[in-house]
A and B are shown apart, each in its own frame.
Chain A
Amino acid sequence: MALKEILLIDDNYIDNYINKRIVTSEKIAEHITVKLSPVEALEYLGSKMDTLPELIFLDIKMPEMDGFEFLKELSKLCPLPHQQAKCNIIMLSSSINRKDIDAAKKNPLVKDFLTKPLDPFKLNAVMKLLV
């Protein structure tokens, strides 16, 4: 199964590189879009509301706006349940803080929380969730 588009939101260039390589090597998406800040990502998503990416990897700790703030803004952008159902968001962070993990798991937009680094195992587990 291949997805049309995967969106990676992370301020760290290296992590974006790694994630892009892993996703590419597993060949699960036709397009991989990378956004270095949630603000850019929101702009991007707002511009193509009809064809939203099927999977979004979201970092937590970012300047300007963190991952949770992004989720808040996104739920404003997509207030309707069928819109939200389309957004499969996976939190991908190096945080081991229980608070972050719990908050992520409670959020209805978030499908799962993964600890960095992303690797083929974790990616395949996520793919299983989406089916």
Chain B
Amino acid sequence: MYVFASILIELLLITSCILILFNLRDKLGLAPLYILLGCFQYFQVNLEKLISFNFLGKFPIYPGSVILFSALLFALLLIYIKEGVQSARTLIIGILISNFFLAGLFEVTAAQDYFIRQLYTVELDPTTIFNINYKYFIIGTIILLFDFILLAVIYQFLISKIKKPFLFFILFLSLWSVLIFDALAFNIGVFYSSPTFTSSLIGHVIGKTVVAFLFAAILHIYLTYIDKEKVSSSFIVNQQRDILSILKYRKKYMDLKIEKKNVEDRLLIEKKQMDIALKESEAFNNGILSSLSAHIAVIDKSGEILAVNKAWNEFSINNGESNLARTSVGSNYIEICKKAISQGDTLSLEVLEGFRAVLQKEKPSFSIEYPCHSPLEKRWFTLHVVPFGSESDKLVISHINVTKLKIAEKQLENSNLQLKEAQRMAKIGSWEFNPFTKEVHFSDEMYNILEIDKDSKENLFDLYRSKCLPEDYNTFNDLVDRSIKNEKGYAIGYYIKANANKIKYIHEIGETVRSENGQYLKLKGTIQDFTEDKRIHEELSQKNEELLKANKELDRFVYSASHDLRAPLTSLMGLIEIMDMILPKENEDLKEPLSLMSKTIDKMDVFIRSIFDYSVNSRREISIEKIDFETLIRSIWESLKFMNIKYNPEPIIEISQETEFYSDKKRLEIILGNLVSNAIKYYDENKTEHFVKISVTVDHEKAAVVIEDNGIGIGEEHKDKIFEMFYRATKMSTGSGMGTYIVKETLDKLQGTIEMASELEKGTRFSITIPNSK
């Protein structure tokens, strides 16, 4: 019983030594383990035949040898599994080499021992430990080599065929088959044909099976529980080696080495690239953040500011916080808000509520606009809060200066208000109409003009149509169709029935415009309440019509009046003429009253002519024609020839004309007729020589006409008034007071001028200019 206990203790001692050294391989390397195994091998070689017992009385077992030999295999398998082929081969080669050196060393030592004994004549002891049985040794060593190789191959074969959970079975089978092979090979090689062969073989098989079981168990425990794999993807763990890798490992090893180097190089390059990319991306992010004009900060849920961008700090510095004590990284934003709330700031209260809502994911984000006026300018900001990432309890706060936007907004609001006001005052409404959907938009004033309730739920287009007169519908539809077809605007005036008692006149202007997406045309325009203008316009055109009618009637009246008034006068003149002719010589005293009658009639005739001329001048359109002054003056002179005047001079006419002259002939007749007849009429009876001189100078701009006489002249006191109506400058009663007034009026109409120079009893000179209308 003590035998088995000692065997067990030996086994445990050896395995624990191996495992401890193996476990310390990271610190000590494998060399101590190799040395230990070398020692075991040496010990085993020498122990071979020394200690044994017969199991069940007839099967010899060498416990020390079996355990040590198995321990070698155990260690090899352990190293093969955990440290790879290379280490396992090192162990095999090391043990083989040390075996041979050891054999040599034994031999040398044995020789040494022999010579020393001869020298000192010491009795030869054939049992010296340095005498090695070479047959045993060489066979054992060669078998050991095969054992090692076989072990690796069998293990590798089994691990590739059988699943990992059966690791114990694999370990046991590997160890056991190698040990049994060893037992067979050793006993065949050493004891074959000896009488102990069978019993020795059975003893080996029994001992080695037991040991194989124990070592497999220990190895399994160690691998599974003590030295278990930390990295699951390693090459060794997967044990994906070639079955014969223990033999042809060299090439593979080199390939792997190159491959490993390549992988390492690649990894290194990738890491460098990643570093560069990371740095660039950081620089990029920083660049973006600092180039943003928005002030951005990141705070955690307690309110601590974790990061800010450049604009944030600059704003703080520019707004009186030079040391950034309150707003830089590390300050507490929520605390600042709370402080502000305690001072009665309601905005901060809203902001905190926003923070809370975003943090608790009640809202995806939070925005608030607030005024932040500096002493120098009015400013508005928008505070925007979003979560920092989707799963974070941090917040990103940005303050964006929206002053420009706000000012633009206010201006827009103002101009809208002004527009509205203007529309209201001008009674102009603007509208938009989509002819395809009949969708309508009205400005406020549209509702006022059309008298539609702005809050009405009815269709706006129908409401509008209900105000229009049904007889206009077709016109409107045509107008819209044409407008859309020709892409042209329109203007139209029409009446609407604003309410039961009120008709309004509307002036509408429409234009076609492209819709926002450019796909179809719609109409845009204005309507204006023209009711008042229309009324005035209608009144005006009615008045105008009346006036035109009155004018026409007046013309007809003047014409027939001049004729009908003159007709009896001319009859009277004729009768007086006849009376004068047939008056007998004895009734000479009747001549005087007849002559006075004749003069009275003349005066009346002149007056009628004047009125007629005046009417012609004021009413008739100017009609331009070529003027021949010579003919014109002669014909005027002719028509005056029969004026009832004793004196009848020949005219002196001087015309200097460098170009053709164009003007209104009838008006020229009125002007010259009056002036010439005055020159003739007001001749000076006290003079013996009389003349009327008419000189005309025509150039491109005008005609200058001077009518000169040596008549009675006009007194200084009258000079300013002779162009007034009904003003008479002479006591002679032939004038009507109309002549010079009509001359002036007519010249004004032709945009001409008139000047007069006169001296009593010397004569008068009228100088007129008439523009050349060529």
Contacts and interface: CB of A to CB of B under 8 A. Distances in A.
B571 A12 contact: yes
A106 interface: no
A120 B582 CA distance: 13
Given A12-B567, A22-B578, A122-B642, A117 B562 contact: no
B581 A115 contact: no
Contact of B642 (A15, A19, A97, A121): A121
Interface of A: 12, 14-15, 18-19, 21-22, 25, 61, 94-98, 115-122
A97 B666 contact: no
B562 A116 contact: no
A120 B566 CA distance: 20
Nearest to B573: A117
A97 B669 CA distance: 12
A52 B567 CA distance: 29
A18 B562 contact: no
A96 B669 contact: no
A117 B571 contact: yes
Contacts of B581: 21, 25, 120
Given A94-B569, A98-B666, A14 B574 contact: yes
Given A96-B609, A98-B666, A21 B571 contact: no
Given A22-B577, A94-B563, A97-B559, A115 B616 contact: no
A38 B666 CA distance: 30
B575 interface: yes
B575 A98 contact: no
A95 B571 contact: no
A51 to B, nearest CB: 29
12 contacts: A15-B570, A61-B563, A95-B562, A95-B563, A95-B566, A96-B608, A97-B612, A98-B616, A115-B570, A117-B571, A119-B577, A122-B642
B639 interface: yes
A89 B240 CA distance: 149
A100 B641 CA distance: 20
Max chain A Cβ within 10 angstroms of own Cβ: one of B563, B573, B574: B574
B570 A117 contact: yes
A14 B569 contact: no
B563 A18 contact: no
Contacts of A12: 567, 571
B518 to A, nearest CB: 65
- Which secondary structure dominates chain B's binding surface? helix
A18 B666 contact: no
Contacts of A19: 574
Nearest to B571: A14
Given A15-B570, A119-B642, A120-B581, 14 more contacts: A14-B571, A14-B575, A18-B574, A18-B578, A61-B563, A95-B562, A96-B566, A97-B612, A98-B669, A116-B566, A116-B570, A117-B570, A117-B577, A121-B641
Contact of B574 (A97, A98, A118): A118
A18 B571 contact: yes
A18 B569 contact: no
A22 B575 CA distance: 10
Interface in B60-105: none
Contacts of A118: 574
Nearest to B666: A98
What 8 A-B pairs have minimum CB-CB distances, sorted nearest first?
A117-B574, A18-B574, A116-B570, A94-B570, A94-B566, A117-B573, A94-B567, A14-B571
B642 to A, nearest CB: 6
Nearest to B569: A94
A36 B570 CA distance: 18
B409 to A, nearest CB: 73
Interface in B586-617: 608-609, 612, 616
B574 A15 contact: yes
A92 to B, nearest CB: 10
A118 B577 CA distance: 9
Interface in B606-639: 608-609, 612, 616, 639
Nearest to B616: A98
Nearest to B566: A94
Nearest to A18: B574
Contacts of A117: 570-571, 573-574, 577
Nearest to B612: A96
A19 B559 CA distance: 24
B639 A115 contact: yes
Contacts of B571: 12, 14-15, 18, 116-117
A128 to B, nearest CB: 13
A21 B642 contact: no
Contacts of B569: 94
Contacts of B567: 12, 61, 94, 116
A22 B609 CA distance: 25
Interface in B531-578: 559, 562-563, 566-567, 569-571, 573-575, 577-578
Contacts of A119: 574, 577, 642
Contacts of B575: 14, 18
A119 B616 CA distance: 28
A78 to B, nearest CB: 28
A25 B639 CA distance: 24
Contacts of B608: 96
B155 to A, nearest CB: 145
Contacts of B669: 98
Max chain A Cβ within 10 angstroms of own Cβ: one of B559, B570, B609: B570
B556 to A, nearest CB: 12
A22 B639 CA distance: 20
A3 B629 CA distance: 37
Contacts of B577: 18, 22, 117, 119
A74 to B, nearest CB: 23
B576 to A, nearest CB: 9
A115 B575 CA distance: 15
Contacts of B573: 116-117
Contacts of A120: 581
Contacts of A25: 581
A96 to B, nearest CB: 6
Contacts of A18: 571, 574-575, 577-578
Contacts of A122: 642
B570 A97 contact: no
Contacts of A94: 563, 566-567, 569-570
A118 B574 CA distance: 7
Max chain B Cβ within 10 angstroms of own Cβ: one of A14, A22, A117, A120: A117
A115 B635 CA distance: 13
A35 B752 CA distance: 48
